[in-house]
Structure 1
Amino acid sequence: MADPVEKNNTDGEKEETEFTDAEHTLKDRKASWAKLRRVDSLNLEAGIVSNVPSHAAQIGIKSTLFLAFQSIGIIYGDIGTSPLYVFSSTFPNGIKDNEDILGVLSLIIYTILLSPVLKYMFVVLNANDNGDGGTFALYSKICRYAKISLIPNQQAEDRELSNYRLDIPSNQLRRAQKIKEKLENSHVAKIVLLFITILGVSLVIGDGILTPCISVLSAVSGIKRSADSLNQNAIVGISVAILIVLFSVQRFGTDKVGYSFAPIICLWFTFISGIGLYNLFKYDVSVLRAFNPKYIIDYFKRNGKEAWISLGGVVLSMTGTEAMFADLGHFSVRSVQISFMGVVCPAILCAYSGQAAYLTKFPTHVYETFYDSIPDPLYWPTFVIAVCASIIASQAMISGAFAIISQSLRLGCFPTVKVVHTSAKYEGQVYIPEINYMIMIACVIVTVTFRTTTQIGNAYGIAVVGAEAITTVMVTIIMLIIWKTSIWKIALFFVVLGTMEATYLSAVLYKFTQGGYLPLAISFFVTIIMGLWHYVHKKRYMFELQNKVSSESIRDLALNPNITRVPGIGFLYSELVQGIPPIFPHFISNIPSIHSVLVFVSIKYIPISKVAMAERFLFRQVEPREYRMFRCVVRYGYKDDMEGHKEFEHLLVEHLKEFIRHENYILEAGPTEQVTSQQLDAGRLMQSGQLVKDVKTRKPTSSVVHTEESFGQTDNLSGSSGSIRLAASGNGSNHSRNRMITGPIQGVDEEIQFIQKAMDQGVVYLLGETEVATEQNSSVFKQIAVNYVYDFLRRNFRQGGKTMSIPRSKLLRVGMLYEI
């Protein structure tokens, strides 16, 4: 590219590099040039962005250690508070044999070593999507390497440019290509992959509901040791009050109290590790024999089915493990590895070992193991810290649920809700008012209904294991088609971890009637909503794609004498990137007028985390030029913040001016002059905010050279392609073309002044109220799903104007019915 590019060097400083040779850019593009000629250029470039510097960029040791300290307070509250309830959930009917304590401790130790340590620290964290983690990040990463998205999100050159690398022929490469082709050619496989992604997200949302309940209830239950007069009803009441306060302060964002999180959780880990070591050496240090897996085998031989059922409690020792990956975007892989291996893992192993040592002497205290094992002088400080830690653990999972729903919105998998970004410092910290109060009501109902940590634990385990099992499946796919790992390593990863998670899942499902149905019911409900919304979203997109307006229709509308031009700028919104949506002629038929400047705005969410501002806006001009109609694609990553309407208007208009300015940097050539592929590509690569510098003698001019494009009829609209528009015919590196010179509309300065004047006269947002209904011959099930369920969701959630915070005084709506 000709534009100066900023990149981070190893010292963390910004270094500016200028590429002045277009040939350098073309080396990797020649092989795919034929593809480019067959698709709409705007649609092509809308899916291509440069690799944005991310959390994966190298940072110094000091910064890494600081991030590691912060991560302790934000992502480990859940797994750190698990010692509050694991032993009581594992032995709900009491301890029958002291040897069982060693068996359960051994299970806990190897569960932690296999899942959080081996699986997440050394494998899953490396499957991040440009530094971001979570189920949708895995799905987006796979979608970039294989065309499996149900809504087209990968254009002709995405694979060659966005993720280009030279692969040496090998058995792994051939295997990856075969699997990729099967996924791309199987509609069932695409649906299944989307389904398990949505299911994984649903389980994490269920986790976000259950974590506050079990964490707060288990922490508050400790007060019974010093306040015998308090019964379970009082404990539940106090827990509900704390939950309501917790959700009420969500609107302030975690950033406001972020600096207090890490010290509190560090203090919590200090307490539980210290108390654990105290109990270990005071009561029975020999419980460290549990590091021998032989005690697991003996435990199952001795207890059989009861041992298998108890796995439903053991699995709670790895709660919050998924949060380490889901919240990765705040930190870096190295910082998370350092904090977990250096602080969290030793602390919780000490805590469990100390509790096991205490239980060997006092096996009847299993129902309140954590609080009973605390030395008297440390009871009240530990109780206070425990309540604070449980609140922080709840905060982390609630924020995680918000972030996941925000990501699902960007991929068209959830009804429109208001997303408020609460922090300018930490990416991904969002607050969603509607979801916040829904989760609060659900938490209160669960706490009042289940009342004890044992009952909630039965439900909690399914959400935990289900989410981790789905992560295992998706990472296995990444290992197959992206990493191209050797087959024996993949088999070892999938078989060992898959077997462990399948065993745990069978155990927690056994307690279906004892509370296990709750996360399944939540997941079923959320999955139905997300699946139905995505289905109709896809159908709407395909309807618009198949019914887009042709270039001839646009010219007829523009030249119609009955259509008047009114002052100002109009932004007509559409999800369609590949052309003019069918709602436009519907607008004209109802309101026969066009603004002096009209911009067809398409919001496109790219399956990466962030899009640089320099690549945010992409323009084309719609013919005829003198009517000043433009197409604009505004590209966001799934973790980008959408600007307010004033900032958005300013940014779009400024980039439009720059586009017009760049339009006047033309490539001068005679009627029969040969245009090289370098020259052609220099024009094709032009985006708003980027200036071609490879032809240094070029000067601005008010004349505009344009010809009919021959890049295929996908778009049905001729228009400029960045700074120049060229006719490409034939194959090879040279393309002969003729030019058609038209008289200048105005000089570049006058055009920019015209745009600014229109801006000053006001901006109007034109939104189509598209209702969706089934065709008459549709099945009864489809009619109920679309005409009633989807319509109910659409009417009761926010509409587009509210989501973009558009003032009512600037908003104009026109309704239209889509039959699918």
Structure 2
Amino acid sequence: MLGAIGVVYGDIGTSPLYAMKESFIGPHPMAVDRLHIFGVLSLIFWSLMLIVTVKYVAVAMRADNRGEGGSLALLALISRSLPGRKWTASLVTMGVLATCLFYGDAMITPAISVLSAVEGLTIVHASLEPLVIPISIAILVGLFLIQARGTARVGAMFGPIVMIYFATLAALGMHNIVQHPDILTALSPSWAIEFFFYNPKLAFLAMGSVFLAVTGAETLYADMGHFGRRAIGFSWLGLVYPCLMLNYLGQGALLLGNPAAVENPFYLMAPDWARLPLVGIATLATIIASQAVISGAFSVTHQAVQLGFLPRLKTLHTSAKAAGQIYIPAINWTLLVMVIVLVLGFQKSTNLASAYGIAVTGTMLITTVMLAFLVFQVWNWNRIVAALVIGTFALVDGVYFASNITKIPDGGWFPLVVAAVSFTILTTWATGRALMRKSLEESSVPLQVFVKSAASAFRARGTAVFMSSTADGIPSALLHNLKHNQVVHERVIILTVKVEGVPHIDPENRIETNDVGSGFFRVILHYGFMEEADIPGDLARVTDAGGPFNMMTTSFFLGRQKLIATKEKPGMALWRERLFAWMLKSSESAMEFFRLPINRVIELGSQVQI
């Protein structure tokens, strides 16, 4: 529970810094009076109840893929349970789109969180305002710089710091609630209903800002594999939810007595002497929230690479004990550049709030659609119960998504542009790989035919391992080796790495071997989409493919294809073929990705048209 509080709830825990303020002075300002204060608080309470408690904790977290959660894990779970259905392609598209929307969220969260915390300096003293941007950028640059060193040691402090932060939220809230105890009646849904009846249009538009209180909820599901469903659920119900609501109610009580405090109710809840320390603890909390999102971006990218939606990217392990702690330089520096652009471009957290929300609501709406497939087709719930549950989720998510769409002109376009670019990259790579594999298969020959034709070739001593992207046919490197070198090794291993639709594979199910005859063996190594491939380590466990492996007498042959974009074949648009060719050229070498011994690798190149 302590670990879950430190990592999972950093994002949603920092929402009180800006959610209440933006509801009143955001893109659609409204009067700071009793009806609107109570209406907003009622919407926040019941949104957290329906979206976080019911949808994610009670329902979505039951949809685990062998303990793992998140959009790609849910996609893999449904695809494995219902293979070959006509709507599988649409489901894959939705899962990829949810992943792309997450990248937009991963850029905005560090920027708005750190900015909103550092802006507390202006409440301490107005003369400190010029320092807000430089300090925010310095904190963010420092945060991204430490990623390469790993966050294991820093992570050990996350839980206690966030615990102190949540205790501070609760204490500030209770201090102000005592002044206006009638604010507790805002928990009644009647206030939200009255708000909508009084001014339906304004209430609908206000939901775009109210939703800021819910951002970070999807992290509960995505991080389920790290802490478990029970730890996340108990910590939400027992600590996080009560502390958040106490703080929101405290902000509402403050506004009842002092409407002018709407400029920054979070910091103005505290007495003058406590505001500077509050800036410090809030800044630490936002750094932790940002760290969780950055780590999530690394994890999601790794899953996308393993599932074939992104090229191989250089991935470094920052912990000898925890396999999930990884660092991907390309993602780290891209996020840093985009976060700095956001801070310099939007300047204030109020401006960034308009860009925040649409990506999260889109992800939540997609999750609801995928859950619908799960409860109707896989779990086979009672139709009426399933329709009521999914219908409620769809209504809430749909209204919030529609409200956030109104923020597109004010900055909501940014995460949509990021998602569109990411979606183009992921689908181009997946489609290009499929086309290239098809092109290579056209020139391939059946393994049995090749074994017979190679019988007369000279057999060199040692073992040759040829990497093959498919478990059928002959890899191009093997064909080129025989064609140009006129030689075949005594033992030939055709090796395929196959990533399954589950997070992890049991060690006893890792290796699959097949003796083809004449010294040829086909070996398939199965991995989960959250695992790292370690080919030398796993080959050392193979005993039924012509004997044990000695790395000093084993050569690894890799095929490196140079793609030629052309209009001659009906594949992708020419610009997408060129994009795929650039991605193929820029991808990390299979030698490094699969941890092959550097001095035992031979690459054979060929040209391919798609």
Compute the TM-score of the two structures, normalised by the length of structure 1.
Answer: 0.72
Q: Which residue of 2 aligns with 1:798?
A: 588
Equivalent residue, structure 2, for 1:453: 349
Q: CA RMSD in A?
A: 1.9
Partner residue in 1 for 2:243: 347
Matched, 1:519 2:404: no
Cα distance in 2 between the residues matched to 1:82 and 1:211: 10
1:590 paired with 2:484, answer yes
Question: Whole-Å Cα distance in 2 between the matches of residues 359 and 200 of structure 1?
Answer: 37
Instruction: Count residues with an aligned counterpart.
Output: 607
Is 486-495 or 792-801 further displaced after alignment? 792-801
Distance (whole Å) between structure 2 residues aligned to residue 493 and residue 338 of structure 1: 22
Q: Does 1:273 align with 2:170?
A: yes
Higher helix proportion: 2
Give the Cα separation in 2 of the matches to 1:235 and 1:358. 25
Specify the SS of the correspondent of 2:128.
coil
2:513, 2:524 within 8 Å by CA — same for their partners in 1?
Answer: yes
Is 2:506 the counterpart of 1:612?
Answer: yes
Other-structure match for 1:204: 102
Is contact 1:272–1:347 with CA below 8 Å preserved after alignment? yes
| Alpha-carbon distance, 1:118 to partner | 0.7
Asked if the contact 2:451–2:520 (Cα under 8 Å) also holds between the matched residues in 1, the reply is no
Deviation sequence 1:619-663 (CA, Å, 0-9, x none): 112222xxx2211101100111223xxxx32530331xx215xxx
Structure 2 unpaired stretches of 5+: none
Asked whether the 8 Å contact 2:562–2:585 carries over to 1, the reply is no
> Contact between 1:250 and 1:431, CA under 8 Å: does it hold in 2?
yes
Q: Does the 8 A contact of 2:65 with 2:73 survive in 1?
A: yes
- Does residue 784 in structure 1 map to residue 575 in structure 2? yes
**Residue 574 of structure 1 aligns to which amino acid in structure 2?**
S
CA contact (8 A) 2:33 2:256 kept: no
Alignment match of 1:659 (pick from 544, 547, 551): 544
Question: Of 68, 77, 89, which residue of structure 2 is paired with 1:141?
Answer: 77
What residue in structure 2 maps to residue 649 of structure 1? 536
Separation of aligned partners in 1, 2:443 and 2:507: 31
Pair 1:90-2:90 in alignment: no
Q: Distance in 2 between matches of 1:485 and 1:538?
A: 36
Query: Who is 1:374 aligned against?
Result: 270
Q: Describe the superposition over 1:51-110 as per-residue Cα deviations: whole angstroms up to 9, x where unpaired.
A: xxxxxxxxxxxxxxxxx1211001100001100000121112363433211110111011
Which SS does the other structure have where 1:249 is aligned?
A: helix
Larger CA deviation: 538-547 vs 293-302: 538-547
CA–CA distance in structure 1, aligned partners of residues 520 and 540 of structure 2: 13
User: After the TM superposition, which residues 471-482 of structure 1 pair with which residues of structure 2 at under 5 Å, given as runs?
Assistant: 471-482=367-378
Deviations, residues 557-610 of structure 1 (Å, cap 9, x unaligned): 4223xx433333222111111343344212321232223322111000011111
Matched letter for residue 138 of structure 1: L
1:73 equivalent in structure 2: 6
Q: Tell me: CA distance 1:280–1:373, structure 2 relative to 1, closer, same or farther (3 Å).
A: same
Distance 1:577 1:369 in 2: 61
Is 1:330–1:427's contact at 8 Å kept on the other side of the alignment?
no
Residue 217 (1) aligns with residue 105 (2): no
1:732-811 aligned within 5 A: 752=547, 755=548, 759=550, 761-773=552-564, 776-778=567-569, 782-786=573-577, 788-811=578-601
Where in structure 1 are there 5+ consecutive unaligned residues?
1-67, 149-183, 661-750
Offset, 1:384: 1.3
2:468 to 574, 579, 582: 574
Instruction: Check conservation: 1:106, 1:290, Cα contact below 8 A.
Output: yes
The separation in 1 between residues aligned to 2:39 and 2:277, in whole angstroms, is: 31
Does the residue aligned with 1:474 lie in a helix, a strand or coil?
helix
CA contact (8 A) 2:476 2:559 kept: no
Contact 1:414 1:534 in 2 (8 A): yes
Does residue 431 of structure 1 match 2:327? yes
The corresponding residue for 2:260 is 364
Alignment of 1:217-366 (within 5 A): 217-231=115-129, 233-282=130-179, 284-366=180-262
Equivalent in the alignment of 1:739: none
Of 67, 85, 89, 1:131 maps to 67
Q: Secondary structure of 1:654's match?
A: coil
SS in structure 2 of the partner of residue 765 of structure 1: strand
Check whether the contact 2:122–2:128 (CA below 8 A) recurs between aligned residues.
yes
- Alpha carbons 1:94, 1:366 under 8 Å: kept: no
Shift of 1:478: 0.7
User: Counterpart of 2:154 in 1: which secondary structure?
Assistant: helix
CA distance in 2, matches of 1:447, 1:122: 36
Give, in angstroms, the shift of residue 329 of structure 1.
0.7
Give CA deviations for 1:131-166 in whole Å, capped at 9, x if unaligned.
000000001001111224xxxxxxxxxxxxxxxxxx
Cα distance in 1 for partners of 2:324, 2:357 equals 26
- Alpha-carbon offset, residue 402 of structure 1: 0.9
TM-score (norm 2): 0.95
Contact 1:140 1:607 in 2 (8 A): yes
The CA distance in 1 between the partners of 2:62 and 2:537, in whole Å, is: 39
Q: Find the aligned partners of 1:382 and 1:760 in 2 and give their Cα distance.
A: 58
1:807 deviation in Å?
A: 4.9
1:558 maps onto 2:427 in alignment:
no
CA distance in 2, matches of 1:114, 1:352: 17
The alpha carbon displacement at 1:552 in A equals: 4.6
Q: Structure 1 residues 780, 567: CA separation in 2 closer, same or farther (over 3 Å shift)? A: closer
Question: What SS is found at the alignment partner of 1:767?
Answer: strand
> Which moves more between the two structures, 806-815 or 82-91?
806-815
Alpha-carbon distance in structure 2 between the residues aligned to 1:613 and 1:424: 19
1:416–1:797 CA contact under 8 A, matched in 2: yes
Per-residue deviation, 1:271: 0.4
Please point out which of 279, 286, 303 is paired with 1:390. Answer: 286
Q: Which amino acid aligns with 1:578?
A: D
Larger radius of gyration: 1
Distance 2:304 2:324 in 1: 13
Structure 1: which amino acid aligns with 2:140? L
From the superposition, tell whether residues 481 and 612 of structure 1 become closer, same or farther in structure 2 (CA, over 3 Å).
Answer: same
The 1:236–1:249 alpha-carbon spacing in structure 2 relative to 1, beyond 3 Å, is: same
Check whether the contact 2:465–2:495 (CA below 8 A) recurs between aligned residues.
yes
SS in 2 for 1:319: coil
For structure 1, which segment, 379-388 or 794-803, has the greater mean C-alpha deviation from structure 2 after superposition?
794-803
**Correspondence 1:167-182 to 2 at 5 A:** none
In 1, the alpha carbon distance for the partners of 2:356 and 2:268 equals 24
Cα distance between partner residues in 2 of 1:238 and 1:477:
46
- Quote the residue 1:630 is aligned against: 521
What letter is aligned with 2:459?
R
Tell me which amino acid in the other structure corresponds to 2:544: F
